[in-house]
């Protein structure tokens, strides 16, 4: 299996999985994608139904690591990655209303869906770095959950330094403390005086700076890294198989910010999983909903909300879908993305937009509607959902078809957002035992202005001190 960039200038060589794993972003600023989509037969789907979740992950990843990492090694890594999840099923399904299912992706160590991929990435990085005798510096931006999941997966790793940028004051306190109370020497937390898009732009700028990139051996584990998307595909396949696929089609609703999680569902469809519709759920930062409903991909001011992981106006992973809808033309994709960066408006060709609309629909909820959705599912189904998951559930409820199961990605544990849960349901959302003392733990982070040079200097100092 080989990979190419959505922007084309890095497509002259046959790149294997381990290369794109460690590099994250392509040198031309594009995102990596496989050169072709593996096709899964009905017989293989039916065989996979009987596998444990870790072994299913290994089987699916082996399609993307072919010629690079063997299946037996993937099985060993996957079993290690998921051994400490708190639910025996790892990704349990709950029927919240008739035909509306919550796919709970928050039973990992940091209580968010990011653990599903990040725990596996920790194993993959360790395997490849040991094999190649290399060291890297991982730099990532987080709107809430990616940072803590990445830190949990890479803390204490001897071949990795990890630096996470988060927007100052724009995560929940639980989200922040899950990052800043990890005191391992290889971890640096930086609070940026700005919003998530500022953090994300800064990470992209660091990757575009070839001298800096080489000086610290820069790598990435947020959803610009294809391996993250690949590791998210399995839970969509597992949930669909549980509900009758491949003989029956399903639909998915996903609370969506950076577009990576729902892109993984779309990728599963490209591989042969029968998917009727993909439903995007947005908060008041509704760029994806505006785009899907009226082809308006224009950046507006990011507004803080009850669902901070979706407080985004630039959905990085959308570029991968755009590339596919442009018939894999990297030059057109590059031109559109460059114009978007310069003008804040993405000129998606009408025919590409229509192709996207064949698979995707969207809705958005403001904060009051989010509280109402949380209250609805608690009062009618005794189900407590965090704000992100509630947006997904409401999106799924609005667009569910009578004869098609609607599976909703429940992306965070309600205890990560106790104030919103209390307001909506009157219930206290207690942290699990392993995080019960979170508010008593010592924090360590630095605050920096939204200035690239200041952040780069802090990262260099951190790496030199290791």
Domain segments of the chain as ranges: 93-108+226-425
CB-CB contact of 209 with 453 (8 Å): no
Q: Which residues contact 59 (CB under 8 A, 6 or more apart)?
A: 48, 51, 71
Average pLDDT over residues 270-275: 98
Please tell me the predicted confidence (pLDDT) of residue 12: 64
Residue 156 pLDDT exceeds 80: yes
Average pLDDT over residues 260-269: 97
Please tell me the predicted confidence (pLDDT) of residue 220: 85
Q: What are phi and psi of 164, to 5 degrees?
A: -120, 130
Please tell me the predicted confidence (pLDDT) of residue 132: 96
Average pLDDT over residues 344-357: 96
CB atoms within 10 A of CB 212: 18
Please tell me the predicted confidence (pLDDT) of residue 465: 83
Q: Exactly one of 114, 157, 204, 277 is catalytic; which is it?
A: 114
Average pLDDT over residues 119-146: 93
Q: Which of 223, 228, 293 is closest to 258 using CA atoms?
A: 223
Q: From the CA atom positions of the chain, what is the Rg in Å? A: 20
Please tell me the predicted confidence (pLDDT) of residue 172: 87
> 10 pLDDT band (50/70/90 cuts)?
low
Percent of the chain predicted with pLDDT > 70: 99
Kindly report whether the peptide bond that precedes residue 312 is cis, defined as omega within 30 degrees of 0: no
d(C-alpha 269, C-alpha 124), whole Å: 25
Please tell me the predicted confidence (pLDDT) of residue 25: 86
Please check whether the domain covering 93-108+226-425 is classified as CATH 3.40.50.1100. yes
Average pLDDT, the chain: 95
> 11 pLDDT band (50/70/90 cuts)?
low
Question: Is 114 one of the annotated active-site residues of the chain?
Answer: yes
């Amino acid at each position: 299996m080989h990979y190419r960039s959505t922007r084309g200038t890095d497509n002259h060589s046959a790149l294997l999985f381990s290369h794109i794993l460690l590099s994250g972003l392509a040198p031309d600023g594009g995102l990596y994608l496989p050169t072709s989509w593996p096709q899964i037969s009905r017989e293989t789907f039916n065989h996979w139904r009987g596998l444990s979740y870790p072994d299913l992950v290994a089987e699916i990843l082996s399609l993307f690591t072919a010629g690079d990492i063997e299946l037996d090694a993937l099985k060993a890594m996957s079993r290690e990655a998921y051994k400490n999840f708190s639910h025996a099923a790892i990704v349990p399904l709950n029927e919240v209303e008739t035909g509306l299912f919550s796919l709970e992706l928050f039973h990992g160590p940091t209580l968010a869906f990011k653990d599903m991929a990040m725990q596996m990435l920790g194993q993959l990085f360790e395997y490849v770095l040991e094999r190649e005798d290399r060291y890297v510096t991982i730099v990532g931006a987080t709107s809430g959950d990616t940072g803590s999941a990445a830190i949990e997966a890479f803390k204490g790793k001897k071949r990795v330094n990890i630096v996470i940028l988060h927007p100052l004051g724009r995560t929940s306190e639980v989200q922040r403390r899950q990052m800043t109370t990890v005191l391992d020497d290889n971890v640096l937390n930086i609070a940026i005086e700005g919003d998530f898009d500022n953090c994300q732009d800064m990470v992209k700028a660091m990757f575009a700076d070839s001298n800096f990139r080489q000086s610290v051996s820069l790598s990435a584990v947020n959803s610009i890294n294809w391996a993250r998307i690949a590791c998210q595909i399995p839970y969509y396949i597992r949930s669909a198989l549980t509900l009758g696929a491949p003989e029956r089609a399903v639909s998915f609703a996903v609370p969506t910010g950076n577009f990576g999680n729902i892109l993984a569902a779309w990728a599963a469809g490209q591989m042969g999983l029968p998917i009727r519709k993909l439903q995007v759920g947005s908060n008041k930062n509704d760029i994806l909903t505006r785009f899907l409903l009226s082809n308006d991909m224009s950046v507006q001011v990011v507004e803080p909300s009850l669902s901070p992981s979706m407080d985004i106006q630039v959905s990085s992973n959308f570029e991968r879908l755009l590339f596919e809808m442009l018939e894999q033309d990297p030059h057109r994709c590059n031109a559109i993305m460059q114009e978007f960066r310069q003008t804040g408006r993405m000129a998606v060709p009408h025919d590409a937009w229509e192709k996207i609309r064949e698979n995707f629909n969207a809705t958005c909820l403001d904060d009051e509607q989010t509280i109402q959705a949380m209250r609805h599912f608690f009062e009618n189904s005794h189900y407590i959902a965090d704000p992100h998951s509630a947006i997904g559930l409401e999106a799924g409820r609005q667009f569910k078809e009578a004869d098609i199961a609607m599976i909703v990605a429940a992306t965070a544990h309600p205890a990560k957002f106790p104030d919103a849960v209390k307001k909506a349901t009157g219930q206290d959302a207690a942290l699990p035992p392993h995080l019960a003392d979170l508010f008593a733990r010592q924090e360590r982070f630095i605050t920096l202005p939204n200035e690239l040079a200041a952040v780069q200097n802090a990262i260099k100092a951190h790496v030199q001190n290791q």
